[in-house]
């Protein structure tokens, strides 16, 4: 008899196109998923998808079950929200502060979806640039910070979001235009264009340039689009999330290059006070971020 866990597996497979990747998402081994699928297939006497190296392709029967899965999963989630509402007082506010300003790109759809699910929660963005957004949590000016992992000593509740790659963007005519990858030394003499935050908060400085003893001139801008304008007009280079610059690269406005051998990776977390983290809608906000980003941003990995 089919169960919700099977439907969740199915949805995960549909999302990731690969059984082994889907297995991770539902916290199972590849073997377990394989067994699950086989069980469903033999139960109904149909095949759910054609397996191949580059992912699975759903059959008609698979699509039909997938449609059921999506409906059931959504229905269950909605019912669970309603039950929480019946049980607890779910009014509250969610003031969000961003450490990484590129995140505005994906925050809007996330907030939209969140408002739909928790209309009684007041969502707000904490405006302006802050040298250390985490302090906003401690001072009670924000309820949730999206940024890099704080030291665990600070006592905050930390939920992992995703890992992404930071790339160097440069003008199309830049002298390094034909390099496949960029190392710290390559950048000597360049101007680095960043958001107006302390150098220690900028990954490429902290992780790459400083260890190599390379110190660049800096120039700041508040908006991603402004940074890219400066880059395109050859006022310097910038280091930004790959998903933040993808559309500009695709349109050939600028070039993006990998940093170092394996690329410079960074991770985003949702950080909250432990008291607030227990609120029912908090975990769901994090889930919405993860799902939305996994769907809309290229080249990220949920963590």
Contact residues toward DNA (CB under 7 A) are 5, 18-21, 27-32, 34-39, 51-53, 55-56
User: CB under 5 to 8 A by kind: which of DNA, its own copies, none does 72 bind?
Assistant: its own copies
Closer Cβ to DNA, 50 or 296, answer by number: 50
Closer Cβ to DNA, 32 or 108, answer by number: 32
Nearest residue to 272 (alpha-carbon basis) of 155, 120, 164? 155
Q: β-strands 92-98, 144-147: how paired?
A: parallel
CA 101 to chain centre: 13
User: CB under 5 to 8 A by kind: which of DNA, its own copies, none does 199 bind?
Assistant: none
User: CB under 5 to 8 A by kind: which of DNA, its own copies, none does 18 bind?
Assistant: DNA
Nearest residue to 82 (alpha-carbon basis) of 55, 50, 117? 117
Question: Tokens standing for 265?
Answer: 């990776």
**117, 284 Cβ separation under 8 angstroms:** yes
Closer Cβ to DNA, 163 or 235, answer by number: 163
Considering the complex, what minimum distance in angstroms separates the CB of residue 247 from its own copies? 38
User: CB under 5 to 8 A by kind: which of DNA, its own copies, none does 53 bind?
Assistant: DNA
Closer Cβ to its own copies, 50 or 183, answer by number: 50
User: CB under 5 to 8 A by kind: which of its own copies, DNA, none does 60 bind?
Assistant: its own copies
Considering the complex, what minimum distance in angstroms separates the CB of residue 22 from its own copies? 17
Q: What are phi and psi of 228, to 5 degrees?
A: -70, -35
Measure Cα distances from 235 to 105, 117, 150, 170, 256 in Å.
23, 44, 33, 9, 16
Closer Cβ to DNA, 42 or 200, answer by number: 42
Q: Which residues contact 207 (CB under 8 A, 6 or more apart)?
A: 264
């Amino acid at each position: 008899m089919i169960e919700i866990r099977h439907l969740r597996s199915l949805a995960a497979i549909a999302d990731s196109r690969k059984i082994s990747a889907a297995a991770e998402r539902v916290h199972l081994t590849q073997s377990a998923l394989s067994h699950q699928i086989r069980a469903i297939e033999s139960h109904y006497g149909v095949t759910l998808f054609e397996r191949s190296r580059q992912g699975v392709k759903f059959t008609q029967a698979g699509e039909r079950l997938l449609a059921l899965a999506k409906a059931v999963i959504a229905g269950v989630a909605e019912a669970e929200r309603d039950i929480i509402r019946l049980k607890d007082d779910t009014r509250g506010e969610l003031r969000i502060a961003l450490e990484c300003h590129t995140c505005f790109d994906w925050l809007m759809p996330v907030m939209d979806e969140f408002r739909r699910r928790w209309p009684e929660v007041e969502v707000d963005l904490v405006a302006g640039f802050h040298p250390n957004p985490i302090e906003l949590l401690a001072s009670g000016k924000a309820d949730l910070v999206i940024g890099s992992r704080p030291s665990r000593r600070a006592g905050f509740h930390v939920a992992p979001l995703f890992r992404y790659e930071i790339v160097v963007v440069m003008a199309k005519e830049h002298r390094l235009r034909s390099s496949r990858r960029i190392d710290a030394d390559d950048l000597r003499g360049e101007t680095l264009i960043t958001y107006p935050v302390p150098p220690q908060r900028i990954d490429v400085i902290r992780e790459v340039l400083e260890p190599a003893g390379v110190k660049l001139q800096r120039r700041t801008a508040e908006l991603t689009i402004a940074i890219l304008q400066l880059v395109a007009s050859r006022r310097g280079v910038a280091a930004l999330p790959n998903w933040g610059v993808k559309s500009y690269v695709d349109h050939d406005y600028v070039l993006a290059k990998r940093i170092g051998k394996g690329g410079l990776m960074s991770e985003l977390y949702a950080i909250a006070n432990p008291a607030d983290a227990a609120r029912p809608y908090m975990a769901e906000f994090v889930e919405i971020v993860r799902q939305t980003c996994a769907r809309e941003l290229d080249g990220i990995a949920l963590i």
